[in-house]
Amino acid sequence: MSAGSSAMVVENHYPHLSELTSHQKDKIAELRSKTKDILATYPEYDTDFSLLRWLMGWDYKIDVIIPKMRYAVETLVNLGMNNHQTTSDEQINKDIKNMSAVAEYFPGGIMGQSKRGDVVYMQAMAKAHPKTLVKAGPTSQLFQLCISETEMSFKIIRKAEEENQRKMGVIIIMDLDGFNMDLLYTPTLKVYMSLLTLLQNIFPDFARRIFIINCPTMMSAVYAMVSPVLSAQTREKVRFLDKDWKNHLIEEIGEENIFMHWGGNKKHEHPCGDIRMGGKVPESLWYNESHKLEGDKTKIAVSARSKTEVKIYGESGKHFHWLFRVSSGDIDFSIEKDGRVVWPVFRCLTEFHPEIGSFKVEETGEYIFVFDNSHGKIFGKDVKYKIVLE
C-alpha cells in the first residue's frame, strides 16, 4: 500500500449474499462460466458460496483455481458424493461408520451445528491407536472416509447457506486429551500429513475456526511438525485454548450444541454422543494373507519423477478388483479412461497393509491404471500388483 493511501479494507470472510461486493460477484460469474463442464457433473456444488470459497482460498486467481477445482469435483464425483443424500449430522456419523468396520477406530464425527449454523466437527485425535490402525485398512480407505465425511458436512453447510443466505464453514475441535508419543509414529504421521494436504486441496477455505483443547506440554513441538503442511489461511484459524476451553466453546458454539463430555448439555444416551472415539483396532480386523488376490502378481518398475501405466479392457457392469504393494515409500495411484480420472488420485503407503480396492465399470473400453512416482525425486520403486475383472 502506498504512502498516504487509505486504510486497507478488510474482506468480510462470511458475508450475507447481499453483502457480496461487485468484485466478488464478477469473479463468481467468471469462475462459473469457465467451469461449466466441471459443475455440470455435480449441480448441487454450483452455489455462489461454494465458488466464493475457491476464490477466497486461492486469492481470486481463477487460472490457478480451475485445475484444482477440476481435481476436487472429479474426486467427489468418483466417490459418489454427487448422488449421496445427506439429511442430518446423525446420518453422516452413521453413514461413515457403515463405510468400514475400521471406521469406528478413527476418531471423529459431526457434533452438530453451531448457533450460527456452522457444522461442528469433533476429533478426539489422541484416542487413536496408530500402530494397529495402519494394519487394519489401506491408506485410500482413510482418505475416502475423510473426504466423504467432509463433503457430507458441506452438503449440510450448503443447505444452511441457502436458508440463511450467508456463507458458513466448519468449526473443528481437536481434543488432545490422553496425548502420547505413539501418536507421532512416523509411518502414520506421514499418512496424516498426506491427508491434511489432500483435504486442503479438495476443500479450500473449509475451516472457520480450529480449536485445539487439552494441549499437552509439548504442544509447540507437535504443532511444528504438522504446521508445514497447513496453508497460511488454515494456520490463521488455529486457536490453542487454555483450561477455560469449555466456556469458550459454549460461547462460540452454544451449550445446547455440545455433547456433555465436552461441557455442553446436548442430549444423547452417551456423554460423547455418536462421535467415534478410537481405541486399539482388534486383531480380528487386521489384514491377513488370505485375501483372494494374494498369490502371483505382476512386477513393474516406476522410476523417480515418472509414472507407469497398465492398460486393461473393462466391460460395463463388471468390477475391477486390485491389490498391490510398493517396495518402499508411497506411490500415487489412480484410474483413467478417455483422458478422465474415474478413480481418485490417492497417495498410497503399503508398508503395513496392501492397497486394495474395487471399481464398477460403467463404460466398456480401455482403462488405464496409473502408478505415479513423480514426487519421488531420487529413488525408483517397484510395484507388485494383481488386477482382475469380474
Query: pTM above the 0.95 mark?
Result: no
pLDDT at residue 10 in the model:
53
176 three-class SS: coil
pLDDT at residue 292 in the model:
81
Bridge partners (DSSP) listed for residue 171 = 120, 209
Extract the residue ranges of the chain whose pLDDT is less than 70.
1-10
Closest to 183 (Cα-Cα) out of 138, 143, 216, 144: 216
pLDDT at residue 289 in the model:
82
Bridge partners (DSSP) listed for residue 64 = none
Residue 275 — φ and ψ, nearest 5°? Answer: -70, 135
Q: Cβ of 223: how many Cβ atoms within 10 Å? A: 15
Q: What is the β-pairing status of strands 119-123 and 170-175?
A: parallel
pLDDT at residue 290 in the model:
80
pLDDT at residue 12 in the model:
86
The label of the residue with cell 511444528 reads: 224
User: Measuring CA to CA, how many Å separate 246 from each of 221, 251, 262, 311, 385?
Assistant: 24, 9, 7, 55, 50
For 220, residues 6+ apart whose C-beta sits below 8 A from its C-beta are none
Q: What is the β-pairing status of strands 307-314 and 365-372?
A: antiparallel
In what helix (H) or strand (E) does residue 374 lie, and over which residues does it extend?
Answer: none
pLDDT at residue 247 in the model:
97
The label of the residue with cell 485445539 reads: 212
Helix axes 139-164, 48-57, angle to 10 degrees: 120
b/e code 5-40 from CB counts within 10 Å (16+ = b): eeeeeeeeebbeeeebeeebeebbeebbeebeebbe
Listing from the earlier edge strand, what are the strands of the sheet with 340-349? 307-314, 365-372, 330-337, 340-349
Please give the radius of gyration of the chain, using alpha carbons only, rounded to the nearest integer: 22
